[in-house]
Amino acid sequence: MNKSTLNDHKKSKMGRPTVDSEQVGIRLQRPILDGIDAYMEDNPSLKNRAAAIRAVLELWLEENGYLKP
């Protein structure tokens, strides 16, 4: 009788899709965190600080010509 192994089954393609990105770890001072939290209150679609920071950074880069809209 054959024993089943993990290699016998194809890996599922479920989960987060692959994107060209890098994780960046930064430490932020309390006034900046308070500002991010306030921005999140005004933008309830942003579910966490990481999403809010990405949104603020993207907006700033677009407005200053460093990122095409």
pLDDT digits (tens, 9 = 90+) for 29-48: 999 999 999 999 999 999 99
Mean pLDDT of 24-28: 96
Contact 36, 49 (CB under 8 A): yes
**CA 54, 57, 63 angle in degrees (round to 5)?**
135
Report which secondary-structure segment, H or E, holds 63: helix 49-63
For the chain, the domains span 27-69
- Alpha carbon dihedral 36, 40, 57, 23, in 10-degree steps, equals 80
- Rounded to whole angstroms, the Cα distance separating 32 from 26 reads 12
Q: Is the pLDDT of residue 2 over 70?
A: no
pLDDT averaged over the chain?
Answer: 88
